[in-house]
Amino acid sequence: MKIVTAEAFKEERCRALETSALTSSVDDTVLNIIQTVRKEGDAALFRYTEQFDGAKLDILELSEKEWERAMFKVDPNVLGALTTAKEQIEQYHRLQKEKSWFEQVRPGVTLGQKVTPIERVGIYVPGGKAVYPSTVLMNVLPAKIAGVKEIYIVTPPDREGNISPSIIAAAKLAGADTIFKVGGAQAIAALAYGTETIPKVDKITGPGNQYVARAKKWVFGDVAIDMIAGPSEICIFADDTTNVSFAAADLLSQAEHDEMANAICVTTSDSFAEELQKEVAEQVKQLERYEIANASIEQFGRIIIANNIEEAHDIINFIAPEHLELMNEDAVSSMQQIQHAGAIFLGPYGPEALGDYVAGPNHTLPTSGTARFASPLGVYDFMKKSSIIHYTEEAFMREADAVATIANAEQLTGHAKSVLIRKEFFQ
Ligand SMILES: NC(=O)c1ccc[n+]([C@@H]2O[C@H](COP(=O)([O-])OP(=O)(O)OC[C@H]3O[C@@H](n4cnc5c(N)ncnc54)[C@H](O)[C@@H]3O)[C@@H](O)[C@H]2O)c1
Ligand SMILES: N[C@H](CO)Cc1c[nH]c[nH+]1
Ligand SMILES: [Zn+2]
């Protein structure tokens, strides 16, 4: 892991943004896949699944038999832990549910907001380098709480064309309708435009690698998306009081997701930085997913030395990380200075992995600095609102002239007429 100053890190990030062209080679690949799926439908999905996942399929939809068999195959301990996670995720997300409201706000004027669920949702569950039953729960459960009627999961199969029993069990526990064995940009295109087998949905949610994240960006507008939830990121704020082994383990817990994952530590202590560098180099060797974690650490791992706490807060806000662990002495004060982060973990007993699985908040979080404007996935992502407006005759008469005046100022005399015609009628 490279040790750099806050200033050098900022320069490096800005340069990377400047030099990244508007469309990259990933975009070229993704756009080509999207266009091909729109043109060829299922045939393109079968071809891409063979090309990228090595699986030769005849049918995309998971069969009844596969659903049933998975419940016998899944490890009972895993099922037990998933059930605990389900209950705790539901408990947290139920608190997010918004209600419709109607209120008399002025004499004779009742206004309101009617909240309704999105009808049909497609959920991307990653499956290239790991299997993510936790992502099934994190996406399906808030959709269920919102009242979404149709929930379709897409996820890439393994080389034999199978979906992991733990994914199927999680989908059953959470109440998803169907699983389609397709991943990557092709799955996003299928959900956005529909194919012979896969229904076109109203919204796509869920995380994925850079191909998935870019595909979601390209189909946005033809379909709604939740956010850009790409390769995982962790940022740790540490000082001399931080346990160096904990910090190293937590950095590697996210680096093992993907070669493109970002693991960063910000610290005010030179000696901690040096110790951490050594500890990460030691711990990475012991990881089963050494290749992935080491590639991520080599390429994107950084230990940033800040001159003081203020500079540390500033650089964290600049990064706007997906996950932030405040492992410094006064974590609560620091939390108050952080404006931009997907999820904030406080203190030494808050490894990010808690939030990935059982704490309750959602683990589908904004990445690549988008925490500056985006929020964690929640029940609100699966709901929409309609404004409700009702006037009595008296209230209408009182406000009609204001409408006509503004309409005329906009030279929209038809608008003015629609109120004046009523005014004349009722007078
Ligand atoms: N932000 C979050 O909330 C969150 C949560 C969980 C996981 N993640 C991230 O999700 C990602 C999962 O990635 P993954 O790769 O394991 O699974 P994935 O399902 O996202 O990607 C696998 C698919 O990528 C496509 N692909 C791979 N190489 C390609 C190529 N060269 N050209 C075109 N398409 C290609 C294939 O279609 C393949 O099926 C990781 O980056 C992980 O960090 C993020
Ligand atoms: N850390 C990931 C979000 O970036 C979520 C996850 C799922 N399983 C393990 N981790
Ligand atoms: Zn994780």
What ipTM does this complex have? 0.97
* Centre of ligand 1 from the C-alpha of residue 293, in Å: 15
Q: Write down all domains in the chain, each with its CATH number in brackets.
A: 25-99+116-227 (3.40.50.1980), 231-374 (3.40.50.1980), 392-426 (no CATH)
pLDDT at 352 over 80: yes
Residue 23: predicted pLDDT: 59
Coil, strand, or helix at residue 120?
A: strand
Instruction: Take residue 339 and report the two structure tokens written for it.
Output: 């404006």
Q: What does the pLDDT read at residue 22?
A: 54
21 pLDDT more than 70: no
Strands 109-117 and 101-106: antiparallel
pLDDT at residue 48 greater than cutoff 90 = yes
Task: Please say if 340 is a catalytic residue.
Answer: no
> Residues near ligand 2 with C-beta < 6 Å?
132, 134-135, 232, 254, 322, 356, 363, 365
| DSSP letter, residue 61 | B
pTM of the model: 0.94
pLDDT band at 121; cut points 50, 70, 90 = very high
Return the pLDDT at 230: 83
pLDDT score of 167 more than 80: yes
Round to whole Å and give the CA distance between 231 and 228. Answer: 10
Of all atoms in ligand 2, which is nearest to the CA of residue 233?
A: 4
- The model's pLDDT over 293-348, given as tens digits with 9 standing for 90+, comes to 999 999 999 999 999 999 999 999 999 999 999 999 999 999 999 999 999 999 99
How confident is the model at residue 137, as a pLDDT? 98
Check residue 113 and give left, alpha or beta (phi > 0: left; psi -120 to 50: alpha): beta
pLDDT digits (tens, 9 = 90+) for 170-194: 999 999 999 999 999 999 999 999 9
Full strand arrangement of the beta sheet holding 120-124: 178-181, 150-155, 120-124, 203-205, 224-225
Share above pLDDT 70 across residues of the chain, in percent, rounded to a whole number: 99
What's the residue count for the chain?
427
The question of whether 394 is a catalytic residue gets the answer: no
Q: How far is the CA of 252 from the centre of ligand 3 (A)?
A: 10
Low-confidence winner among 10-19, 20-29, 34-43 (lowest mean pLDDT) = 20-29
Determine the number of helices (DSSP H) and then strands (DSSP E) in the chain. 17, 14
